[in-house]
């Protein structure tokens, strides 16, 4: 059986070495390289053509998401798993939007990581348990419109501009990116998002995104 080739991209030397130990002990995987900068990652990935890339996009002096987007463009056959120390739904949505196959917390267990690598190599999308649990928790806070007796969708409470902004939030866009896309100020975006949360009785962007998932807004425009 041919081994899966794995490339690691992380600025943290100690974490790199920890991953190296885990991967080298797994007979179905071959660690083909370790990169500590975006430039190294791009060069090594093109040369080594890994099946899976484990990558922390939080690069202090580089645009990690930009590097990831370039990797996706240059190597469409490689599957990227983003590693993060934060349970960050906005970061997860941005990574998936730009081509990552998964978003994993660095605190996950070695056997979980190995399973996720194999799943990603088959083109499956994977999310760490704690993140998935929080998203599902947010979704289940909303009543099912099929059984609640409320025939008026919550989306009808939003203005056209608020729907446009919510559509961008679903895509994982930051306030600054939304402002640039819609040609409005960042403060205006913040005000609209605050109004959206008030109208929908939600406390944060994660809940807003979960509502949008339940409403099927990832499959349709508003």
Same fold: 4-128 with 141-215: no
Residue-wise pLDDT tens for the chain (222 aa)? 789 999 999 999 999 999 999 999 999 999 999 999 999 999 999 999 999 999 999 988 888 999 999 999 999 999 999 999 887 777 887 888 888 988 899 988 999 899 999 999 988 888 876 666 666 555 455 554 434 444 445 556 788 898 888 878 777 678 888 999 899 999 999 999 989 888 888 877 777 777 776 666 544 433
Contacts of 133 (CB under 8 A, 6+ apart): none
Phi, psi for 105 (deg, rounded to 5):
-80, 140
- For residue 114, with 0-12 CB atoms within 10 Å meaning exposed, 13-18 middle and 19 or more buried, which class applies? middle
Quick one: tokens of 207?
């809940």
Q: Which CATH number is associated with domain 4-128? A: 3.40.50.2300
How do the domains of the chain map onto residue ranges?
4-128, 141-215
Return the CATH architecture of domain 141-215: Orthogonal Bundle (1.10)
Contacts of 47 (CB under 8 A, 6+ apart): none
CB atoms within 10 A of CB 156: 7
Terminal Cα-to-Cα distance of the chain (whole angstroms) = 47
């Amino acid at each position: 059986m041919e081994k899966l080739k794995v490339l690691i991209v992380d600025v943290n030397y100690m974490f790199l070495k920890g991953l190296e130990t885990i991967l080298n002990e797994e007979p179905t995987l071959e660690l083909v390289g370790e990169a500590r900068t975006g430039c190294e990652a791009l060069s090594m990935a093109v040369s080594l053509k890994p099946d899976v890339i484990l990558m922390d996009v939080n690069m202090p002096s580089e645009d990690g998401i930009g590097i990831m987007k370039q990797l996706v463009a240059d190597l469409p056959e490689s599957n990227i798993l983003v590693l993060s120390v934060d349970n960050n739904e906005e970061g997860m949505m941005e990574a998936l939007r730009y081509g990552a196959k998964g978003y994993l917390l660095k605190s996950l267990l070695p056997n979980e990581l190995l399973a996720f690598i194999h799943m990603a190599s088959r083109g499956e999308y994977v999310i760490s348990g704690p993140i998935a649990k929080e998203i599902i928790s947010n979704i289940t806070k909303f009543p099912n419109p099929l059984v609640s007796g409320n025939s008026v969708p919550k989306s009808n409470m939003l203005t056209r501009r608020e729907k446009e902004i919510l559509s961008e939030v679903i895509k994982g866009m930051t306030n600054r990116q939304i402002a640039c896309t819609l040609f409005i100020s960042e403060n205006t975006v913040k005000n609209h998002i605050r109004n959206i949360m008030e109208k929908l009785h939600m406390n944060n962007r994660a809940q807003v995104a979960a509502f949008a998932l339940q409403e099927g807004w990832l499959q349709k425009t508003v």
